[in-house]
């Protein structure tokens, strides 16, 4: 066979002695056989169950011949846009094309189409009229029912219909894909596979759907945003595998898209098995000449310890994809995987990450979740920790200690992010202390997102006082262990609920902290989040109350500029924003001011003021020699005031 990779061409297939594959997996990503890539997991799962799978990675969507590499598969085509939604992969929040694609050889952009799942599905249909087509991956998962599409600024139909596909395997598809394969292998027609949890299908017979909740029709929702808001919240309340209902979305009088309840979460033994398959843990060797696939660098020496998240941030799509129930791997499974790469010649002694969507979640949030499912009308951590929440870091601490003891391991980092309010809810400080002592390299990145409780409420995040208490404790522990360490906060501008008043408040906070972020993330309305529903409809779907939404590109630019008010390039935007917010008191020469006035405000010469202002702002981050210090030095200077508290 030459390599342990799955076949990528007919020659590979024939070398295995196969005359036909059971499934062809079409992926928008390059072929990377690593468990951080969805296509690697699904294909290895099918292989473990005895199915023959060939992979067509990044086919030429302009050429129908590009998906005929293996001929017609015996059972069907599996289609995924890749590890990211193709539109997020291609465009920034300002809808400008990105320059590189980390999931493509050499980082080359343009190797996959916009709306890749739809394009690939139709590409297959041109040649194979009746062969089953099953969509999967995050793009199909988050677009499985009618959804707001930010890039076209309209409500779109279920991707199942636009792609001409037969089924969607949504969420984490290990269970559903095996059940689909077994049904097809047993001779069932794809149109009769309507019963599998974690799937979406289409039907012309509404009477065949039992125990279903009928959503508003697509045409009605397209005409009435409030109807869509209500439909979305019904979907949101039915993302639990134990309590979720079957959902029926009408398209005209004779076509229905039906979403079955989600698949059950994997047990720890099942999770261990998924990650024990013989992954090659790198990209296909055919990409070597192009420089490999950049995305492998971040994950090659990282460990996925969990999936699912009960954090419930409103701007995050995890509730719709992985769900809110925590699933974890055993220590033995993680140690075994670490044992595979610590002897790799490229391994330098640093495990880059041990985590998941939220690193410090290692168990379901409460006992009842695995019996009754998650609560429909409340969150585990918002607005404060639920009284039934189990807060316990002991298992995670033990795991991290065991990994640190492995031969050749110098440092174990936690990069996938921690939930600081969960840390603060733990009366035992052991994890907090060990985090500061062993798992931080000078800076800890955290995501308070904002400082205004008005905005945080719309984000589903804890109040700002929780983050401030966490920051104070972090610096106190760092001083106790005699380490100079700092926090780097991730902040978001233009989220629903953020008026110019809230944006100015965030700028004032950064002024008092003495910190200007190098990068600012504008709110990005990706499919199937509560925040995106707010953005599109102007109401909070949880209570149907109006929400202020900054949509105008110029207003969004002003909110973003306020976070980086010290950048001279942002002067005009910041001045305009302060005037619009009625905060001209922040234009002046006092210590509390954000910017200095120009001639029209002060009567001084414009060029002189601009020159002086620019010099002062440019010098804000320089050392005594007038040179910009390194990143760590910058953070150190920024936080000296905070560290002395």
User: For the domain that residue 620 is a member of, what is the CATH number?
Assistant: 3.30.750.200
Helix (H) or strand (E) holding 57: strand 53-57
Residues 6+ away with beta carbon under 8 Å from 73: 20, 21, 22, 23, 24, 54, 131
DSSP 248-279: EEE-SSS-EEEEPPPPPPPPHHHHHHHTTS--
Looking at the fold, whether 481 and 630 belong to one and the same domain comes out as yes
Looking at the fold, whether 47 and 184 belong to one and the same domain comes out as yes
CA distance 61 to 363: 42
Looking at the fold, whether 410 and 449 belong to one and the same domain comes out as no
Looking at the fold, whether 608 and 497 belong to one and the same domain comes out as yes
Looking at the fold, whether 501 and 544 belong to one and the same domain comes out as yes
Looking at the fold, whether 490 and 624 belong to one and the same domain comes out as yes
Domain holding 329, by residue range, is 301-438
Report the DSSP pairing between strands 443-449 and 486-493: parallel
Q: CB count, 10 Å around CB of 576? A: 16
**Tens digit of each residue's pLDDT (9 = 90 or more) over 339-375:** 998 889 999 999 999 999 999 999 999 988 878 888 8
CATH of the domain at 322: 3.30.750.210
- Give the orientation angle of helix 571-580 with respect to helix 500-513, to 10 degrees: 120
Give the domain-ending residue among 438, 469, 492: 438
**Tens digit of each residue's pLDDT (9 = 90 or more) over 383-422:** 999 999 999 999 999 999 999 999 999 999 998 889 999 9
Looking at the fold, whether 188 and 113 belong to one and the same domain comes out as yes
Looking at the fold, whether 357 and 498 belong to one and the same domain comes out as no
**Tens digit of each residue's pLDDT (9 = 90 or more) over 143-190:** 999 999 999 999 999 999 999 999 999 999 999 999 999 999 999 999
Looking at the fold, whether 53 and 168 belong to one and the same domain comes out as yes
Residue 293 resides in a domain: no
Question: Which two tokens mark 472?
Answer: 């104070």
Tell me the CA distances in angstroms from 354 to 78, 141, 305, 349, 467, one per residue in order. 30, 25, 6, 14, 23
**Tens digit of each residue's pLDDT (9 = 90 or more) over 246-289:** 999 999 989 999 999 999 999 999 999 999 999 999 999 999 99
Give the domain-ending residue among 438, 456, 477: 438
The residue whose two tokens read 């809110």 is 324
CATH of the domain at 169: 3.40.50.280
Looking at the fold, whether 330 and 466 belong to one and the same domain comes out as no
Looking at the fold, whether 426 and 469 belong to one and the same domain comes out as no
pLDDT at 634 over 60: no
Residues 6+ away with beta carbon under 8 Å from 195: 260
Question: Which two tokens mark 118?
Answer: 């739809």
- Give the chain's end-to-end CA distance (angstroms, integer): 63
* Mean pLDDT, rounded, of the chain: 91
């Amino acid at each position: 066979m030459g390599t342990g990779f799955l076949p990528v061409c007919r020659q590979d297939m024939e070398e295995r002695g196969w005359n036909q594959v059971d499934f062809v997996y079409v992926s928008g990503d390059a072929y990377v056989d690593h468990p951080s890539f969805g296509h690697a997991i699904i294909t290895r799962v099918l292989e473990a169950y005895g199915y023959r799978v060939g992979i067509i990675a990044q086919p030429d969507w302009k050429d129908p011949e590009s998906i005929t590499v293996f001929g017609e598969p015996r059972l069907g085509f599996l289609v995924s846009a890749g590890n990211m939604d193709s539109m997020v992969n291609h465009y920034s929040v300002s809808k400008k094309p990105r320059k590189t694609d980390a999931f493509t050889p050499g980082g080359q952009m343009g190797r996959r189409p916009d709306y890749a799942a739809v394009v690939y599905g139709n590409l297959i249909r041109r040649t194979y009229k009746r062969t089953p087509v099953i969509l999967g991956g995050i793009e199909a998962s988050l677009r499985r029912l009618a959804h707001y599409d930010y890039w076209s600024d309209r409500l779109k139909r279920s991707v199942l219909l636009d792609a001409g596909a037969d089924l969607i395997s949504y969420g984490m598809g290990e269970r559903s894909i095996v059940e689909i394969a077994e049904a097809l292998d047993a001779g069932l027609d794809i149109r009769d596979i309507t019963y599998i949890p974690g799937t979406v299908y289409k039907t012309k017979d509404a009477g065949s759907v039992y125990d279903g909740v009928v959503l508003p029709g697509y045409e009605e929702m397209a005409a009435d945003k409030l109807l869509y808001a209500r439909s979305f919240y019904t979907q949101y309340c039915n993302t639990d595998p134990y309590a979720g209902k079957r959902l029926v979305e009408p398209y005209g009088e004779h076509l229905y898209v039906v979403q079955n309840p989600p698949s059950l979460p994997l047990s720890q033994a099942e999770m261990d098995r998924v990650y024990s398959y013989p992954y090659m843990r790198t990209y296909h060797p055919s990409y070597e000449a192009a420089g490999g696939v950049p995305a492998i660098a971040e994950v090659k020496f990282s460990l996925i310890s969990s999936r699912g998240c009960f954090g419930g941030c409103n701007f995050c799509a995890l509730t719709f994809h992985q769900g809110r129930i925590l699933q974890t791997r055993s220590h033995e499974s993680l140690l075994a995987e670490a044992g595979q790469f610590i002897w790799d010649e490229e391994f330098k002694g640093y495990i880059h990450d041990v985590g998941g969507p939220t690193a410090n979640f290692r168990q379901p949030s409460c006992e009842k979740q695995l019996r009754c499912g998650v609560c429909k009308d409340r969150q585990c951590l918002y607005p404060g920790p639920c009284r039934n929440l189990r807060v316990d870091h002991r298992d995670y601490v033990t795991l991290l200690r065991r990994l640190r003891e492995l031969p050749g391991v110098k440092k174990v980092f936690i990069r996938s992010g921690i939930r600081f309010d969960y840390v603060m809810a733990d009366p035992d400080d052991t994890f907090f202390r060990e985090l500061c002592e062993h798992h931080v390299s000078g800076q800890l990145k955290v995501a308070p997102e904002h400082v205004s409780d008005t905005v945080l409420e719309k984000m589903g995040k804890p109040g700002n006082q929780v983050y401030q208490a966490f920051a104070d404790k972090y610096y106190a522990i760092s001083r106790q262990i005699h380490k100079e360490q700092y926090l780097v906060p991730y902040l978001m501008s233009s989220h629903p609920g953020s008026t110019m008043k809230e944006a100015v408040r965030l700028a004032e906070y950064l002024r008092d902290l003495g910190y200007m972020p190098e990068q600012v993330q504008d709110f990005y309305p990706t499919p199937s989040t509560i925040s995106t529903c707010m953005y599109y409809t102007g109401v909070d779907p949880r209570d149907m109350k109006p929400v202020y939404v900054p949509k105008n590109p110029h207003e969004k630019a002003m909110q973003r500029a306020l976070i980086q008010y010290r950048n001279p390039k942002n002067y005009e935007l910041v001045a305009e924003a302060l005037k619009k917010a009625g905060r001209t008191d922040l234009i002046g020469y006092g210590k509390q001011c954000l910017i200095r006035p120009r001639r029209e405000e002060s009567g001084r010469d414009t060029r002189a003021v601009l020159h002086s202002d620019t010099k002062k702002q440019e010098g804000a981050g320089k050392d005594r020699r007038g040179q910009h210090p390194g990143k760590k030095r910058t953070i150190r200077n920024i936080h000296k005031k905070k560290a002395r508290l």
